[in-house]
Chain A
């Protein structure tokens, strides 16, 4: 448990026993991605692959700069390129967004996960998958409002960005943050990141981007990966970034109301079966019945 000693767990999937609460939470961390500074060089993708010892297969060119074309169990972050045509202003904009786990304060994956301790949230805000506990059911994929987790074809376990929890737990910044040559990705306390983001928004507005703003959606309780967007009023144009992400109500229904009812139904039926067995015994066919059945079968054969 050595690495967990510096990172207290505040939430654990499919677990009702309370988490340790004595130590103070410490610093809530956040990664800020300023898309206006991003040049799409993909150094973050390479640094992520290098640090986490994951190597995706060499893909094929699909006609756009997106490479790999989508997130996978071996690619935890990808740049998404969008050619956005503004009909009103009559101009073309090339939008680049680094996609990956948003580390929601209220994580849909963790809520949806049925395996105890397979998804945890640390006190600093990082949401992490513990693959040893993962049963590969894919509930986290449906529970995620940002469509981030991916199930590996090699081991049928879910993988995603860890926000380099192994680096952050010893006081380092995530690998993508460190490598970013333009300084588009920054890392620090969530408070500092919000302050820095606000400065960037003022700057962008002065440069004529009236829709500039911070993407820290309240629908998932805020995120620990935030964006500075030039067009925060319409985030969908950035390769489908949801304007109001929220955990699917079905997750709440299944895990909230349905789960105890289902458990009760299972318990009752098991108990009923046991008592039925004790009281009535197995359904034995009596000797006469068996004899008449076999003679009937014999006659049919003839």
Chain B
């Protein structure tokens, strides 16, 4: 290459200038990254009970927003409640994955009705659902209620309908459930807790 004195000085100046700029911090380097920030810093914490089994572990649901008027809450994380006497913060694999249970696209969010012979589920209102359940229960109870047994002893049994109740219940809700079910004479009554 034919490089004269002038060109040599130009090349040197450009090189020194470029490297000085880089040293001054103008280099095209990625910004200094850091690890993840703690995602629960200002979430709203709500205590609840795990809905799965009868152990009834305490959970804390962390949701976005501080419950301000214009903020719509959304649960982003669930973990065990360290202050709960049952589980003291621990959760089994099902409980530990509750967040996906809540956000599951298959989650049932409203009553649905499938007519006999039909393969299609239709959304109905809670009122319609309650009315229909009450009507069917009354009809069945009227038809199959056993007031006295063969020996003539009053038994007041209703054996043709049963009920599955919730598991994660307090003593009080367990008491009310019993009162409701037994007062109708229903004997077939079960839940995971067998209370």
Contact, CB under 8 Å: A179 / B35 = no
Contact, CB under 8 Å: B91 / A117 = no
Flag whether A245 is at the interface (Cβ < 8 A).
Answer: no
Within 8 A of B (CB), among A73-125: 117
Interface Cβ pair total, 8 Å cutoff: 93
Interface readout for B1-43 with A: 1 if CB under 8 Å, 0 if not?
Answer: 1110000100000000000000000000010111111110100
Report chain A residues within 8 Å CB of B99.
Answer: 50
Flag whether B80 is at the interface (Cβ < 8 A).
Answer: yes
Flag whether A169 is at the interface (Cβ < 8 A).
Answer: yes
**B79's closest neighbor in chain A, by CB?**
A178
Report chain A residues within 8 Å CB of B80.
Answer: 178-179
Contact, CB under 8 Å: B2 / A179 = no
Bound-complex Cα distance A232 to B35 (A) = 34
Contacts A3-B38, A47-B79, A50-B77: A181 and B92 contacting too (C-beta < 8 A)? yes
Bound-complex Cα distance A193 to B5 (A) = 71
Interface readout for A166-187 with B: 1 if CB under 8 Å, 0 if not?
Answer: 1101100001001111010000
Bound-complex Cα distance A1 to B8 (A) = 44
Q: Tell me which of A1, A132, A280 has the highest count of chain B C-beta atoms within 10 A of its own C-beta.
A: A132
Flag whether B85 is at the interface (Cβ < 8 A).
Answer: no
Interface residues of chain A: helix, strand, loop or mixed (majority): helix
Interface readout for A244-267 with B: 1 if CB under 8 Å, 0 if not?
Answer: 000000000000000000000000
Among the 9-residue stretches A24-32, A37-45, A288-296, the one with 4 or more Cβ atoms under 8 Å from chain B is: A37-45
Within 8 A of A (CB), among B111-168: none
Interface readout for B169-195 with A: 1 if CB under 8 Å, 0 if not?
Answer: 000000000000000000000000000
Contacts A179-B80, A181-B87, A277-B1: A1 and B92 contacting too (C-beta < 8 A)? no
Report chain A residues within 8 Å CB of B105.
Answer: none
Contact, CB under 8 Å: B32 / A117 = yes
Contact, CB under 8 Å: A46 / B32 = no
Flag whether A133 is at the interface (Cβ < 8 A).
Answer: yes
Contact, CB under 8 Å: B90 / A180 = yes
Contact, CB under 8 Å: A41 / B33 = no
Report chain B residues within 8 Å CB of A166.
Answer: 35-39
Flag whether B89 is at the interface (Cβ < 8 A).
Answer: yes
Contact, CB under 8 Å: B90 / A181 = yes
- Minimum CB–CB distance from B63 to chain A (whole Å) comes to 15
Contact, CB under 8 Å: A3 / B34 = yes
Contacts A117-B32, A278-B1, A281-B2: A45 and B93 contacting too (C-beta < 8 A)? yes
Contact, CB under 8 Å: B36 / A175 = no
Interface residues on B, range: 20 to 34
Query: Of the candidates B2, B36, B39, B97, which one forms a contact with A46 in the assembled complex, judged by CB atoms under 8 Å apart?
Result: B97
Q: Number of contacting residues on A, CB 8 A?
A: 38
Contact, CB under 8 Å: B1 / A281 = yes
Report chain A residues within 8 Å CB of B95.
Answer: 43, 179
Q: Tell me which of A130, A178, A278 has the highest count of chain B C-beta atoms within 10 A of its own C-beta.
A: A178
Contact, CB under 8 Å: B91 / A130 = no
Report chain B residues within 8 Å CB of A45.
Answer: 93
Contact, CB under 8 Å: A2 / B37 = yes
Bound-complex Cα distance A47 to B87 (A) = 15
Flag whether B96 is at the interface (Cβ < 8 A).
Answer: yes
Q: Tell me which of B92, B95, B99 has the highest count of chain A C-beta atoms within 10 A of its own C-beta.
A: B92
Contact, CB under 8 Å: A47 / B39 = no
Contact, CB under 8 Å: B79 / A175 = yes
Contact, CB under 8 Å: A41 / B93 = yes
Within 8 A of A (CB), among B57-96: 77-80, 82, 87, 89-96
Contact, CB under 8 Å: A132 / B79 = no
Query: Of the candidates A49, A128, A169, A179, which one forms a contact with B91 in the assembled complex, judged by CB atoms under 8 Å apart?
Result: A179
Contact, CB under 8 Å: A1 / B97 = no
A binding-site residues for B, Cβ under 8 Å: 1-4, 7, 41-43, 45-47, 49-51, 55, 117, 128, 130-133, 162, 165-167, 169-170, 175, 178-181, 183, 277-278, 280-282
B binding-site residues for A, Cβ under 8 Å: 1-3, 8, 30, 32-39, 41, 77-80, 82, 87, 89-97, 99-100
- Given A4-B34, A169-B38, 20 new contacts (CB under 8 A): A2-B34, A41-B93, A45-B93, A46-B97, A49-B97, A55-B100, A133-B33, A162-B35, A165-B36, A166-B35, A166-B36, A166-B38, A167-B38, A178-B89, A179-B90, A181-B87, A181-B90, A181-B91, A281-B1, A282-B1
Q: Which 9 A-B pairs have the closest CB atoms?
A: A132-B33, A281-B1, A46-B96, A47-B96, A166-B36, A43-B93, A46-B93, A46-B97, A170-B38
